[in-house]
Amino acid sequence: MERILIIGAAGQIGSELTLELRKIYGNANVYATDVKDAELDIKESGPFQLLDVMDDKHLIHFVIRHKITQIYHLAAVLSGNAEKLPVQAWHINMDGLMNILEVAKLVEDVKKVFWPSSIAVFGSTTPRQLAPQVTYMEPSTVYGISKLAAERWCEYYSKRYHVDIRSLRYPGLISYKTEPGGGTTDWAIEIYFEAIKKRNYTCFVEAETLMPMMFMDDAIKATISLMEAERSNLSIHSAYNLSGLSMSPALVSMDIKRHVPDFTISYAPDFRQQIADSWPQSVDDRNFRRDIKWKPAFDLTRITDVMVAEIRKQIKASLT
Ligand code: SER
């Protein structure tokens, strides 16, 4: 029987992945944890506790006490926020992962770990179209540097200590449930909320900034499929490239107008423009598609339809 620990369960990915894993493995077997409080649906559908991944003693006790067999370590400082406090962000992103890797090495019950990497591992010397799995990688952000270093550590623990750690280089993830906060791809979420609430949006990257993105449902499916795959089918033990679609603010705003005809967008690029420009516009994920037999289901039209409908539902619910 699997007993799963989620670290960062109150965050953008964790708040959706926790509920999905509970459906599969049973509510009582999925332990949601975070440094901050979680939404009621997380707290009421199964165990929730405050846990700081930086506290290695508490972490190892928790894992032993609850006989944890799988860990999803989702807590991190995103790219934009990390640039504001680079050294602190480096410590949180790296030390957190190192604590997890050590626990997975030391505690025999722990059979698998998931940790998210990112398109931020790429840099301006990476080919901008269909960035290959193995390529030049010279990230210019502290977030990207920490993700790339962490990928190397994951492969090191996998080869040297046989820790079964699995990872995906997520593109920007689009969701309506929990905001990401401090990422360079956040505009692709903000644009929908502002379009519905205010009918206008001031975007922090320029109109034609094309970036790799994916709808959260696809990301969750990809993640669970990776974790459920036979280890012998996996050819990558650092992090797989993962690709959904490429989106620019101009493309998204045009699509939003199907639902909000008077929507207007203006542009005030900030420091995140440079980060966006250093990342590829699309990613080649043929290794993942081959090993996992997976493909995304959401294109731009479907994403827009779901985002608009769900945000409208949230607004309606908040008024009643
Ligand atoms: N979405 C993340 C960010 O923008 C990239 O992994 O920081």
| pLDDT tens by residue, 85-144 | 999 999 999 999 999 999 999 999 999 999 999 999 999 999 999 999 999 999 999 999
Check if 184 has its Cβ closer than 6 Å to any atom of ligand 1: yes
Ligand 1, atom 2, residue with closest C-alpha: 183
Check if 185 has its Cβ closer than 6 Å to any atom of ligand 1: yes
Check if 219 has its Cβ closer than 6 Å to any atom of ligand 1: no
Domain segments of the chain as ranges: 4-172+214-241, 176-213+245-279+299-318
Q: Single out the residue of 201, 216, 317 nearest to residue 256, CA to CA.
A: 201
Within 13 Å, how many C-alpha atoms sit on residue 47's CB side?
A: 17
Residue for token digits 């707290």?
A: 43
What are the structure tokens assigned to 32, written together? 């949601």
Check if 78 has its Cβ closer than 6 Å to any atom of ligand 1: yes
Banded model confidence at residue 74, pLDDT cuts 50, 70, 90:
very high
Calculate how far, in angstroms, residue 195's C-alpha sits from the geometric centre of ligand 1: 22
Banded model confidence at residue 289, pLDDT cuts 50, 70, 90:
very high
What's the CATH architecture for 4-172+214-241? Answer: 3-Layer(aba) Sandwich (3.40)
Residue for token digits 């006989």?
A: 67
CATH number of 176-213+245-279+299-318: 3.90.25
Calculate how far, in angstroms, residue 66's C-alpha sits from the geometric centre of ligand 1: 32
Ligand 1, atom 1, residue with closest C-alpha: 172
Write b or e for each residue in 10-24: b if 16 or more Cβ atoms lie within 10 A of its Cβ, otherwise e: bbbbbbbbbbbbbee
